[in-house]
Amino acid sequence: MTTKAPSGWAASSTQWIKFTLTTVLHRYRNLHVYGKIFIWLLMLFYLCLGAFIIVVSPNRIAQVLYDQASRLSHMRLGWLILTGAIVAVSFPPLIGHSTLLTLCGFAFGIKGFAIGAGASVVGSALIFVFLRLCFSSHLRKWSSHNEKWKALESVVRTKGLPLIILIRVSPFPPWVYSNSLFASIEAVSLWQFVVATCFIFPKILLLVVIGSRMAALSDGDSRSHMDTHTKVMNGLLIGGGIIIAIFTSWLVYTLVQNHIRQLEDISPEVDRMAAEALEEYDEDAALLRPNEADDQV
96-119 tens-digit pLDDT: 898 899 889 989 999 999 999 999
46 within some domain: no
More confident residue, 9 or 35: 35
Q: Band of the pLDDT at 295, cuts 50, 70, 90?
A: very low
Predicted confidence at residue 5, as pLDDT, reads: 45
**How many independent structural domains does the chain possess?**
1
CA 193 to chain centre: 16
Confidence check: pLDDT of 23 > 90: no
Predicted confidence at residue 218, as pLDDT, reads: 77
44 within some domain: no
41 within some domain: no
- In this predicted model, what pLDDT tens digit does every residue of 220-230 receive, in sequence order? 666 666 667 66
Mean pLDDT over 170-193 rounds to 84
Mean pLDDT over 163-189 rounds to 83
Range of the domain at 133: 57-285
Predicted confidence at residue 79, as pLDDT, reads: 92
Predicted confidence at residue 224, as pLDDT, reads: 64
12 within some domain: no
Predicted confidence at residue 261, as pLDDT, reads: 67
Predicted confidence at residue 142, as pLDDT, reads: 63
Predicted confidence at residue 285, as pLDDT, reads: 52
Predicted confidence at residue 171, as pLDDT, reads: 78
199 within some domain: yes
Note the pTM of the prediction, 2 decimals.
Answer: 0.71
67 within some domain: yes
Confidence check: pLDDT of 40 > 60: yes
143 within some domain: yes
Mean pLDDT over 183-187 rounds to 82
Confidence check: pLDDT of 280 > 80: no
Which range is most confident: 8-12, 44-48, 119-123, 165-169?
119-123
Q: Band of the pLDDT at 281, cuts 50, 70, 90?
A: low
231 within some domain: yes
